Amino acid sequence: VKYTPENVQWSFIQPMIEARSDASAAQLDGKIYICGGFNGLDCLDSAEFYDPVVDQWSLILTPMSCPRSGVGVVAYNREIYAIGGYDGLTRHKSCEKYDPTTRRWTFVCEMYSPRSNFGVEVLDGCVYVMGGYNGLTTIDGVESYDDESKEW
């Protein structure tokens, strides 16, 4: 569903292509990108995006490098970043980014700590990841990624 503040009204939109929980989403160029998650049986390596102009979901044909449930997703420097997550066996510290222009996923250097179900945000030109779960315990640490230095 979507909310229209001008009308103070909720309305239905088209359903996603794949049912997913524990996914994460970000907005880029007026489209909503949703990555990873869990479909009730498997952790997902798929992603799709919603175009509100035509009320349509489209599958990103190239999957991510691994399944990512509890993934952090953020729009950063005109690309969609998928960070960390859980594949059903292990938490990841790997990161990858999707370029909507080339329609390709490429690797980004790994975080120091594997994590899933964490906060992620862009602030002052860097991506910050906060908290989460590493498979053994909750994390109170914060890491930041700078695209200029290509380092966490």
Of 9, 14, 12, whose CA–CA distance to 1 is shortest?
12
Of 85, 75, 8, whose CA–CA distance to 95 is shortest?
85
pLDDT in tens, 47-71: 999 999 999 999 999 999 999 999 9
pLDDT in tens, 109-123: 999 999 999 999 999
Cite the DSSP H helix spans in 75-143. Answer: none
pTM: 0.96
